[in-house]
Amino acid sequence: MKVMNRTYFKIAFSILCLLFSFSSQAQQVLTVQEALNQALNNNLQVKQALLQAALS
């Protein structure tokens, strides 16, 4: 039983390590200006205000 538990633990640990390595590669470093631009582009209130201004 102990050998099987160790084997399962090693497999689970290996899978977790792989998953964390993939998720860390998906992130990119942004400058402050890029972060602000991305926030403004994805801000729903800004989009709604621009749409209202275009309709007026």
For the chain, the domain total comes to 1
User: What is the extent of the structural domain holding 8?
Assistant: 2-55
What integer pLDDT is reported at residue 26 of this predicted model? 56
pLDDT in tens, 20-32: 776 555 578 889 9
What integer pLDDT is reported at residue 52 of this predicted model? 93
Lowest mean pLDDT among 3-12, 31-40, 45-54: 3-12
| 3-state SS record for the chain | CHHHHHHHHHHHHHHHHHHHHHHHHCCCCCCHHHHHHHHHHHCHHHHHHHHHHHHC
Is the per-residue pLDDT at 8 higher than 80? Answer: yes
What integer pLDDT is reported at residue 32 of this predicted model? 94
Distance, in Å, from the CA atom of 47 to the CA atom of 33, rounded to the nearest integer, reads 19
pLDDT in tens, 30-49: 899 999 999 988 899 988 99
Please state, in angstroms and as integers, the Cα–Cα distance from residue 32 to each residue in 14, 29, 40, following that order: 36, 10, 12
